[in-house]
Amino acid sequence: MKNKILNILKNTDGYISGEKISEQLHISRAAVWKHIKKFKQDGYRIESVTNKGYRFVASPDVITETAIQGGLDTCFIGRNIFMYDETDTTNERAKANSDAPDGSVFIAEVQTHGKGSRGRGWTSPKGSGIWHSILLKPDIPPMEVSRITLVAGLAVCKAIGLNSAIKWPNDIVINGKKICGILTEMSSEINMINYVVCGIGINVNMESFEDELADKATSMYIESGHKYARSEIISKLLNEFEYYYRKFLDSGLRAILDEYKKHCVTLGRCVNVIFKNKTITGTAVDIDENGSLMVEAADGIISVTSGEVSVRGIYGYV
């Protein structure tokens, strides 16, 4: 029945009344209404207008491996894709499959236990965001792994455009609100990396945010007024990621630092650097070749390593 109703809607130019659909399919108008309600919950866009009926607008945006692969121009990033309709967190899926090839990507439509940084959760609703993790096997010292988060931040910024900027080290923001978070984890020996998982979450087609996220989070839809095909954004992002990641592996962070700094909104701002037992206020003046933020404080310049502390703008989140 579901497909029959969808076919009628799709094959109608303009509006069709619930009554007409019910007559054609020999079901009640209430049954038609229930199906339409369910379609809307599943992400179909169907307009309902009193005295006119229903009009089909668009099918839900579904992420597919074929669509992603079609837009890729990478050598190894995204060449193996693991898709999940639902999973706990894509970072854990990547870890559980760490014998998969370098550059494999793990994507979920919905995460039930999305992980944020500092032990926080990450809200990952169905059908509207990009929740994915890239499995990497770089030949670099474990202490340099946090730099991959900066590489990912720059790649996200380039892929989504829309005047997005980086809040050092790796939050992507638009108009002072967060649109993307990055969580990099690794498994290593003392001086050798087994693997790195770079988890990236992007708010794409959300129309609004609730509760504590309402003031802090935004989405590509909210910022641009139009919806995006998420597979296309994933391909773009993986292309950008490979470009900057290879530069980083070949020549270190210095190879991408100028571009990173150009997109970094933290520089030039007054920030609070929150250590475990003290907070220092100063001005963020530079980022060095290790990816550390240089903050000019009362006692001179301090170097802040990503992961070590939390940096907050003194006039708000950014």
Contact call for residue 132 and ligand BTN (CB under 6 A): yes
Contact call for residue 90 and ligand BTN (CB under 6 A): yes
Cβ nearer to ligand BTN, comparing 153 with 282 = 153
Cβ nearer to ligand BTN, comparing 9 with 135 = 135
Contact call for residue 89 and ligand BTN (CB under 6 A): yes
Contact call for residue 209 and ligand BTN (CB under 6 A): no
Minimum distance of ligand BTN from residue 181's CB (angstroms)? 2
One of 43, 60, 71, 116 touching ligand BTN (CB under 6 A): 116
One of 56, 122, 241, 260 touching ligand BTN (CB under 6 A): 122
Contact call for residue 117 and ligand BTN (CB under 6 A): yes
One of 18, 53, 114, 282 touching ligand BTN (CB under 6 A): 114
**Per-residue interface string for the shown chain with ligand BTN, residues 169-208, x marking contact by CB under 6 A:** --x---------xxx---------------xxx-------
Cβ nearer to ligand BTN, comparing 22 with 117 = 117
What separation in angstroms does the CA of 32 have from each of 8, 17, 19, 48? 12, 10, 9, 12
Which of these ranges, 2-10, 62-70, 96-104, 129-137, lies near ligand BTN under the rule CB under 6 A?
A: 129-137
Question: How does strand 81-87 pair with strand 105-111?
Answer: parallel
One of 74, 91, 128, 218 touching ligand BTN (CB under 6 A): 91
Cβ nearer to ligand BTN, comparing 74 with 90 = 90
Cβ nearer to ligand BTN, comparing 203 with 239 = 203
Whole-number Å distance between alpha carbons of 258 and 86? 38
The encoded tokens of residue 150 equal 């900066």
Residues in CB range of 143: below 8 A, 6 or more apart: none
Cβ nearer to ligand BTN, comparing 91 with 239 = 91
Q: Provide DSSP, the chain.
A: -HHHHHHHHHTSSS-B-HHHHHHHHT--HHHHHHHHHHHHHTT-EEEEETTTEEEEEEPPP---HHHHHHT---SSTTSSEEEEEEES-HHHHHHHTTTSPTT-EEEEEEESS-B-GGG-B----TTTEEEEEEEE---S-GGGTHHHHHHHHHHHHHHH-TT-EEETTTEEEETTEEEEEEEEEEEE-SS-EEEEEEEEEEE-S-S---GGGTTTB--HHHHHSS---HHHHHHHHHHHHHHHHHHHHHH-THHHHHHHHHTBSSTTSEEEEE-SS-EEEEEEEEE-TTSPEEEEETTEEEEE-BTTBEEEETTS--
Contact call for residue 104 and ligand BTN (CB under 6 A): no
First to last CA, the chain: 50
One of 53, 54, 109, 111 touching ligand BTN (CB under 6 A): 111
Contact call for residue 290 and ligand BTN (CB under 6 A): no
Contact call for residue 304 and ligand BTN (CB under 6 A): no
Q: Tell me how many residues contact ligand BTN (CB under 6 A).
A: 21
Minimum distance of ligand BTN from residue 86's CB (angstroms)? 13
The contact set with ligand BTN (CB under 6 A) reads 89-91, 111, 114-117, 120, 122, 124, 131-133, 171, 181-183, 199-201
